Structure 1
Amino acid sequence: MSEHLTIPENLLPADGRFGAGPSKVRRGQLDALLAAGTSILGTSHRQAPVKNLVKSVQEGLLDLFKAPEGYQVVMGVGGSTAFWDTASFGLVENKAQHLSFGEFGSKFAKATNTAPFLADSSIITAEPGTRPDPVAEEGVDVYAWPQNETSTGVAAPVKRVAGADEGSLVVVDATSAAGGLDVDVSETDVYYFAPQKNFASDGGLWLALFSPAALERAERVASTGRWVPDFLNLKTAIDNSAKNQTYNTPSLSTLVTLDDQVKWMLSNGGLDWATARTADSASRIYGWAEASSVATPYVVNAQDRSNVIATIDFDESVDAAAISKALRANGVVDTEPYRKLGRNQLRVATFVAIEPDDVTALTNCIDYVLENL
């Protein structure tokens, strides 16, 4: 049985967490959480200590992403899933175009496509493991796609859509990309994410960098009288964020660990440093798979391979599920593939908090399991 295989301790990574989210949390973040125990946790989110914490997060993200003048960090409770509905109510005027090439792009597409007050969405699909490109289309006022498809390990370019109608917005889901993949946010109008991936915090919060055009769009849609549930009201989220707060109570521990992670990234060199680190980690596991006789990167086009989520296929002679079980029994966890993809593969996060040397150790552990199962 694979779960009874003992991997030699000298092969094991120092930290065995490789999950696609929630992700590994650094010790420094836990120290920050302890330090906030009597000054932040258990206090009102409407008072200065918490509002200053929110402001620190907002300013740190603007700095990290080198946001252009006029961009604002907006946040709300509920994670990226809540933001899909929030954007459907408050950002799309009439019609959206979506790129759907995995689980998460398809979910936002479904949200706008089933909204009774919007026109049917234009949905461009591609087989899992590949990606499509956006296409300028008359009448589309929002172009949306994930920068990184967490389910498959495919990364997509972030660029404005040539030939799109004047005033159309580019809305990019960066949940597993933000902080780990390079981006020019000026190519987007809304760059949104939740903090449980590269930012090594917890879910349940969405954050977004809004361009002046997106802020104006939200104001205009709100003025139409379209009914919106209070919890999903984008204008309410924007107004509260300008006051360094959320509409309803956020998780303060999430904000503390997020703030510490942003400061850690900035202190080490910002986004350039972070993206070089994830690229290093990703190159180690992709290189290992390319050299293996039984494994191969799932994403065939090397240019589309994500540097923060690596998906590795195994041939029929290998039971990838048995490898995951053996790894988990030895404290190396969350390498299972995305459940709905149904492939004989491992999915490994290479987020910023994960040490590149631990990725190398993981490949050594996989080799040991392959030799001894």
Structure 2
Amino acid sequence: MKKHNFYAGPSILSEFAIKNTAEAVLNFEGSGLSILEISHRSKEFIAVMSEAQKLVKELLDVPAGYEVLFLGGGASMQFAMVPYNLLKTKAAYLDTGSWAAKAIKEAKFFGETVVVASSKADNYTYIPKGYEVPSDADYFHYTSNNTIFGTEVKSDPEVGVPLVADMSSDIFSRPVDVSKYALIYGGAQKNLGPSGTAFVIVKEDLLGKVDRPIPTMLDYRTHIASESMFNTPPCAPIYTSLQTLKWYKQLGGISAIEKLKKQKSDLLYGEIDRNSLFRGTVANAEDRSDMNITFVMSEEYKEKEADFLALASQKGIVGIKGHRSVGGFRASVYNAMPIESVQVLVDAMKEFEKSI
């Protein structure tokens, strides 16, 4: 039976990326070696890294003066690397979910950290509006998409200080004006590749301004100078990320991906709002994530959640059980998710409604 993979991460990958990676595991670029064993100093892998960096710049229209890095440690390492490199006296953060809160926790080790707004009191069911960012902040950090709670910031904030974003789970799903940002980062395991690497897009002339000494491995300048190869990089995840980037280009780039994204999210949200058995956990439509769609059973049908999960499993639907912080269901519809799989989920919801 075909599986319809709605896991939040590690998550679905395109057949293009999986097939090409599988072939490279057996024989990378005709070298007679596996991508799992080839030297990162070889000309073949250096070409992989170079092409991956180039395609990130091309797809996101990254302007001159920015560098693209592929690093280990995931997005969680960036929670510390960002303030280590950029926080001189004060940083501003928007608290919109668990990962934003973790980033705030790390920033506090390096200087004054101002939380300009938070939706924690309402279990992060909305994106705060109308907040003010201190004009003397070294940067303003926000998390663009909140995988656990199903909210998303869908446009680039207008602030008067350098802008930093964790775009782990919605990168490459919409146009981004990179010129507005000091730094964008994210883990690969949502919209780029398997777990094991993180991407960073950083404006180089903003680095080297802090007074503190920075350990070599945590200094962005180290990795810029060495083309992300100061130490052995996670070669296989970077190779798979390259395949994803190639696939995005074949699809027609970010504008084409954004159109497909809206078709998928509109289809599922439309059924959630229509079906009396279900209720979305994010009431405000403009705050609803197009990547992680969270919903629960309506109160009078609460005891039917396990039954719906059982039906979904029979249909080959996996990964829709909601995070414990929210409960209910979470359907992650990342870029590699085909609309046919979303339709299978919608059809299951309709079938379950008829059975009640």
TM-score by length of 1: 0.86
Identify unmatched segments of 5+ residues in structure 2.
29-34
CA distance in 2, matches of 1:218, 1:51: 25
Mapped pair 1:204 → 2:192: no
Per-residue CA deviations over 1:135-183 (Å, capped at 9, x if unaligned) read 2313211100011111111111443444x3xxx3100110001012332
> What's the counterpart of residue 257 of structure 1?
240
Mapped pair 1:25 → 2:20: no
Which among 295, 310, 313 is matched to residue 328 of structure 1?
313
Do 2:145 and 2:153's aligned partners in 1 also have CA atoms closer than 8 Å?
A: yes
Deviation, structure 1 residue 298: 1.7
> What's the counterpart of residue 228 of structure 1?
214
> What's the counterpart of residue 207 of structure 2?
218
Q: Secondary structure at the match of 1:247?
A: coil
* CA distance 1:48–1:16, change in 2 (3 Å): same
Which among 4, 13, 16 is matched to residue 4 of structure 2?
16
Do 2:141 and 2:164's aligned partners in 1 also have CA atoms closer than 8 Å?
A: yes
CA distance in 2, matches of 1:49, 1:156: 38
* CA distance 1:331–1:231, change in 2 (3 Å): farther
Do 1:109 and 1:123's aligned partners in 2 also have CA atoms closer than 8 Å?
A: no
Which among 63, 74, 95 is matched to residue 58 of structure 2?
63
Per-residue CA deviations over 1:309-334 (Å, capped at 9, x if unaligned) read 11112212133344234423553111
> What's the counterpart of residue 337 of structure 1?
322
Per-residue CA deviations over 1:252-311 (Å, capped at 9, x if unaligned) read 221121111111111111000111111111011000011111212221111111111111
CA distance in 2, matches of 1:125, 1:55: 39
* CA distance 1:191–1:151, change in 2 (3 Å): same
Do 2:3 and 2:318's aligned partners in 1 also have CA atoms closer than 8 Å?
A: no
Deviation, structure 1 residue 17: 0.3
Which among 175, 178, 186 is matched to residue 182 of structure 1?
175
* CA distance 1:60–1:161, change in 2 (3 Å): same
> What's the counterpart of residue 129 of structure 1?
125
> What's the counterpart of residue 237 of structure 1?
223
4+ runs of 1 displaced by more than 6 Å?
none
Mapped pair 1:194 → 2:187: yes
CA distance in 2, matches of 1:157, 1:191: 15
Q: Secondary structure at the match of 1:73?
A: strand
CA distance in 2, matches of 1:188, 1:323: 43
Do 2:86 and 2:209's aligned partners in 1 also have CA atoms closer than 8 Å?
A: no
Deviation, structure 1 residue 202: 1.1
Deviation, structure 1 residue 63: 0.8
> What's the counterpart of residue 99 of structure 1?
94
What fraction of aligned residue pairs are identical, expressed as a percent? 22
Show the 5 A alignment for 1:78-97.
78-97=73-92
Q: Secondary structure at the match of 2:293?
A: strand
Q: Secondary structure at the match of 2:200?
A: strand
Cα RMSD (Å): 2.0
> What's the counterpart of residue 23 of structure 2?
35
Do 1:76 and 1:247's aligned partners in 2 also have CA atoms closer than 8 Å?
A: no
Matched to 1:81, the amino acid is S
Do 1:149 and 1:155's aligned partners in 2 also have CA atoms closer than 8 Å?
A: yes
Deviation, structure 1 residue 370: 4.8
Q: Secondary structure at the match of 1:228?
A: coil
> What's the counterpart of residue 278 of structure 2?
295
CA distance in 2, matches of 1:93, 1:183: 26
Do 1:285 and 1:363's aligned partners in 2 also have CA atoms closer than 8 Å?
A: yes
Mapped pair 1:169 → 2:165: no
Matched to 2:198, the amino acid is W
Deviation, structure 1 residue 119: 1.8
Number of residue-to-residue matches in the alignment: 343
CA distance in 1, matches of 2:169, 2:315: 26
Which among 39, 57, 65 is matched to residue 44 of structure 1?
39
Do 1:321 and 1:336's aligned partners in 2 also have CA atoms closer than 8 Å?
A: no
Do 2:81 and 2:218's aligned partners in 1 also have CA atoms closer than 8 Å?
A: yes
> What's the counterpart of residue 4 of structure 1?
none
Q: Secondary structure at the match of 2:137?
A: coil
Deviation, structure 1 residue 339: 2.1
Mapped pair 1:154 → 2:151: yes
Matched to 1:209, the amino acid is I
CA distance in 2, matches of 1:70, 1:140: 22
CA distance in 1, matches of 2:136, 2:349: 50
TM-score by length of 2: 0.90
